[in-house]
Amino acid sequence: MNNTYYSSTRENKEEVESSLAIIKGLSEDGGLFVPNKIPNLACSLTELIEMDYKQVAYEVMKCYFTDFTEDELKSCINNAYNEKFDTEEIAPLKNEDATYFLELFHGPTIAFKDMALSILPYLMKTAAKKQNIKNEIVILTATSGDTGKAALEGFKDIEGTKIIVFYPKGGVSAIQKQQMVTQKGKNTHVIAIEGNFDDAQNGVKQIFGDEEFNKIINNNGCQLSSANSINIGRLIPQVVYYFYAYTRMVKNKDITIGEKINIAVPTGNFGNILAAYYARKMGLPINKLICCSNENKVLFDFFEKGIYDKNREFKLTNSPSMDILISSNLERLLYSIANENGETTSELMSQLKNTGKYELTDEMKNSLNDFYAGYASEQETEIAIKKLYDKSGYLIDTHTAVGYAVYNKYIKDTQDTAKTVIASTASPYKFTKSVMKSIDEKFESTDEFELLKEMNGLSKVDIPKAVKNILNDEIIHKTVCKIDEMKDEVYKILNLK
Ligand SMILES: *Cc1c(COP(=O)(O)O)cnc(C)c1O
């Protein structure tokens, strides 16, 4: 099989092997790594039908991580998708109200980020060995709630790595906070900052960009790396579950092989839906990719008008993991619809940086036909949760509900009857308050932990282990720092000299 190499979405034409792209995270010119071609599977869809999740994962990932040996890749997959997940199916597909919900929340932190963050640490460790890197890899992450915990769980006690997570002190849900401050593992560090998510994100970016500081870190035998969704080591593992979902539908005789389905994805950073776009390019029979936004509908406007404009009010919604105005992974789509012309992407990205805005050419706009975009307000999201619950007794979280609400608009708009898979990105138990409030206003004032029991009564689904355990766990991480003290904290943790 031909090897797949990675180069930047911008001007740097250098091609690197996947292991180096995983270690680096970003290209030196600030662009994102993209495969030099979208590979084809070595086997047929028919063959995938008989495979389990791990086998499908191997078939998909081996076309992208071509410098990993079979043993290396299989070992990464086995270490990632094991008892950490509460079901052997890893990503079960549920059929409710004539819609297919692909439950991506059965991992240790009950949100879909586990799908990729449970394998990234192993990919990184293997890649470091292949690239002969002796330094300890230090993962530095700012989080608005989900990424931080999933990364902590993923990197916990992984030899040769440390992980430091900064979260906004008042900016995460009660359960998200409890998940992080009780984090176990001898290489994990969690710090609250007196600021919001943007402050945390900026602080982390500054540390990454501080050459002097990075030199000191290197001199102490460490190097920084990132676990956020621009790393191809996070993107590619997400392609897997779209193949998996499709083949389960064939296996259950819900569709015949070759029949086209739609995929609807609640979207923030554009990573999850981009993975579906890659799956489609690899030949998975997908009709429309339905891009679902909340009130921060920068992507909806982009698909409508061909103009990306982040100059707008930032809204805090009941689907907080999608509250985002700069969708980093969109750069990979731009590169693709610009016929892989790095100069074009580079120009658009510099416009975005300087003016907060850019506009596509007509030709690029015409290449967006694979997508349908929609958005749901907070109220529409709540109504979607209640409507589905009343019909079927199935409870979805607020993010998934944005997907479900937009999908219903899509049907109204197009009358399309193709079967549709909605990516269910979080367990309802992760956003208990908002979900229960949608079912009945009276829960507005109930304590978040008390609500777990109430939800349990309604949903017929057990309280996930991940939530149960943390309720009584010891609080380990108590450090709080000011925004301008983040660097000092890294100094202390790494014991730098
Ligand atoms: C991160 C996240 C999303 C958005 O996914 P992107 O890949 O950033 O588009 C949606 N829902 C939940 C629950 C998330 O944690």
Residue 136 has pLDDT above 70, yes or no: yes
Hey, how many other C-beta atoms are within 10 angstroms of the C-beta on 70?
9
Angle between helix 211-219 and 197-209 (nearest 10): 70
Given 113, 288, 297, 430, which residue is catalytic? 113
Q: How far is the CA of 436 from the centre of ligand 1 (A)?
A: 21
Residue 199 pLDDT > 90, yes or no? Answer: no
- 146 touches ligand 1 (CB under 6 Å): yes
Q: Which atom of ligand 1 is nearest to the CA of 269?
A: 8
Using a 6 Å cutoff on CB, does residue 267 contact ligand 1?
Answer: yes
Going from the C-alpha of 229 to that of each of 200, 237, 312, the distances in angstroms are 16, 11, 23
Task: Please state the separation of Cα 180 from the chain's center in Å.
Answer: 18
Tell me the mean pLDDT in the region 130-144. Answer: 92
Q: Is 270 in the pocket of ligand 1 (CB under 6 A)?
A: yes
**Between 390 and 228, the higher pLDDT residue:** 390
pLDDT band at 212 (very low <50, low <70, confident <90, very high): very high
Confirm or reject: Cβ of 266 under 6 Å from ligand 1: yes
pLDDT at 100 over 70: yes
Structural element, H or E, at residue 290 = strand 286-293
Annotated active-site residue 113? The verdict is yes
- The one-letter amino acid code at 218 reads N
- Residue 477 tokens, joined: 């991480």
Identify the pLDDT of residue 30: 85
Whole-number pLDDT of residue 228:
79
Q: How far is residue 318's CA from residue 411's CA, in Å, rounded to a whole number?
A: 24
Gap between the Cα atoms of 105 and 492, Å rounded:
35
Contacts of 437 (CB under 8 A, 6+ apart): 382, 443, 444
Give the mean model confidence (pLDDT) for residues 76-93: 96
Tally Cβ neighbours within 10 Å of residue 394. Answer: 18
The predicted structure's pLDDT at residue 115: 97
Q: Provide, rounded to the nearest whole percent, the portion of the chain with pLDDT above 90.
A: 82
SS3 307: strand
pTM metric for this prediction? 0.94
Termini Cα distance of the chain: 47
- Select from 34, 78, 51 the least CA-distant residue to 236: 34
Strand 420-424 relative to strand 99-103: parallel, antiparallel, unpaired? parallel
Q: Which residue lies with its CA nearest to atom 2 of ligand 1? A: 321
Q: pLDDT of 230-266, one tens digit each?
A: 899 999 999 999 999 999 999 999 999 999 999 999 9
Residue nearest to atom 8 of ligand 1 (CA): 269
- Given pLDDT bands bounded at 50, 70 and 90, which one contains residue 186? very high
Rounded Cα gap, residues 348 and 352, in angstroms:
6
pLDDT tens-digit map of 418-473:
999 999 999 999 899 999 999 999 998 888 888 999 999 998 778 888 888 888 89
406 vs 295, 380, 412, 426, CA distance in Å? 12, 9, 10, 17
Distance from the CA of 116 to the center of ligand 1, in angstroms?
Answer: 12
Residue 109 structure tokens? 């932190």
37: how many CB neighbours lie within 10 A of its CB?
12
Q: What is the pLDDT of residue 1?
A: 56
Task: Please work out whether the CB of residue 107 comes within 6 Å of at least one atom of ligand 1.
Answer: no
Please report the pLDDT score of residue 10 as a whole number: 95
Question: Rounded mean pLDDT of 53-72?
Answer: 98
Q: Express each pLDDT in 470-484 by its tens digit.
A: 888 999 999 999 999
Q: What is the pLDDT of residue 302?
A: 98
Mean pLDDT is highest, among 326-330, 397-401, 447-451, 493-497, for 397-401
Note the pLDDT tens digit of each residue in 293-319. 999 999 999 999 999 999 999 898 999
Q: How large is the average pLDDT for residues 186-209?
A: 89
Determine the average pLDDT of the residues in 16-41: 92
pLDDT in tens, 103-123: 999 999 999 999 999 999 999
Q: Is the CB of 426 under 6 A from ligand 1?
A: yes
Residue 294 · residue 402 · CB < 8 Å: yes
